[in-house]
Amino acid sequence: MSEPSHDPATDSSVPRHVAIIMDGNGRWANNRKKPRHSGHRAGVKSVRLSVEVAAQRGVEFLTLFAFSSENWARPKEEVSSLMNLFVEALRRELDELHRNNVRLKFIGALHDLNAGLREKISHSEHKTQTNTGLNLTVAISYGGRWDIIEASKALARRVSEGSLQVDGIDDASFAGELQMSPMPDPDLLIRTGGEQRISNFLLWNLAYAELWFTDVLWPEFDEAVFDEALNFYAGKQRRFGHTGDQIEAVEC
């Protein structure tokens, strides 16, 4: 994997953190009269590519939505083939990710996963924990509402133990209990597959993300499509509630 093509510390036209809702695998397979599972398998190639392109363009954090809290409701066979695919993909890709200095992390209700997958996840997090390149986070059995509820429980526990005052609950203390802590919020959200919705992804963290949607199905996501999203981002003025004039005054 090549080095970033710019200095991320000084170039704000490149998002520091990109999150992707990888949607459209099933329709990609349907279009080819193949079983849905072959769409999920084909999607692994797009994951590999997006990791390479993100690192090359100088993105520091890449967060991928692989399986939602609601995806457990899919047919049993699809769920179990997805779980097997996660194990297989980790087995096949881990060494290469490690060689490329990628630091892997998983978020979600990981205790709901089978023991084999949980073991692979902790091994891959442990093996890559001191890597200093791209921070790759994979959300499995993740839901934004679940994340917020768990954070609320953690804060409530701290209040009842006396280590936190109710009025001490603020943006920072709340965000600190969320799954993505201490990573920065996504700057750019990409969703493939044509739908323009969040589907219970990082509800809190996406508050100020730029949103970019494409009809391209996830197995067809490639470098040109990724660059289209990055170019869209580069053309945005991020105001965070301020006026455009205020932002320009700071930039000058």
Identify what 173 binds: Mg ion, ligand IPE, none; CB under 5 to 8 Å per kind. none
Nearer Cβ to Mg ion (39/108): 39
Burial of 205 (0-12, 13-18, 19+ CB in 10 A): buried
Place of tokens 């921070």: 135
The region of 5-13, 24-32, 54-62, 87-95 touching ligand IPE under the rule CB under 6 A is: 24-32
Question: Distance (Å, rounded) from C-alpha 251 to C-alpha 245?
Answer: 10
Nearest to 120 by CA among 141, 138, 94, 81: 94
- Identified catalytic residue from 71, 84, 100, 131: 71
Give the nearest distance from C-beta 78 to ligand IPE in angstroms: 8
Site string for ligand IPE, 71-90 (x = CB under 6 A): x----------x--------
With CB under 6 A, what is the number of residues at the site for ligand IPE? 17
Site string for Mg ion, 110-129 (x = CB under 5 A): --------------------
Query: Residue 23 catalytic?
Result: yes
- The single residue among 68, 69, 124, 128 that binds ligand IPE, judged by CB under 6 A, is 68
Place of tokens 């509820």: 149
Phi, psi (deg, nearest 5) at residue 66: -100, -30
By CB under 6 A, tell whether 63 contacts ligand IPE.
no
Nearest to 127 by CA among 107, 89, 98: 98
- The single residue among 16, 17, 18, 24 that binds ligand IPE, judged by CB under 6 A, is 24
Please give the single-letter amino acid code of residue 48. R
By CB under 5 A, tell whether 217 contacts Mg ion.
no
State which of positions 4-63 bind Mg ion (CB under 5 A): 23
DSSP string, 161-205: HTSS-GGG--HHHHHTTSTTTTSPPPSEEEE-SS--S-TTSSTTT
Question: Distance (Å, rounded) from C-alpha 88 to C-alpha 72?
Answer: 19
State which of positions 189-248 bind ligand IPE (CB under 6 A): 193, 195, 197, 199
Question: Distance (Å, rounded) from C-alpha 31 to C-alpha 161?
Answer: 55
Query: Residue 71 catalytic?
Result: yes
Give the nearest distance from C-beta 240 to ligand IPE in angstroms: 27
Question: Distance (Å, rounded) from C-alpha 172 to C-alpha 224?
Answer: 37
Question: Distance (Å, rounded) from C-alpha 232 to C-alpha 236?
Answer: 7
> From the CB of residue 42, how many other CB atoms can be counted at a distance below 10 Å?
18
Identify what 113 binds: ligand IPE, Mg ion, none; CB under 5 to 8 Å per kind. none
Nearer Cβ to ligand IPE (99/197): 197
Place of tokens 């690192």: 55
Residues in touch with ligand IPE (CB under 6 A): 21-27, 65-68, 71, 82, 193, 195, 197, 199
Residues in touch with Mg ion (CB under 5 A): 23
So which residues are the catalytic ones? 23, 71
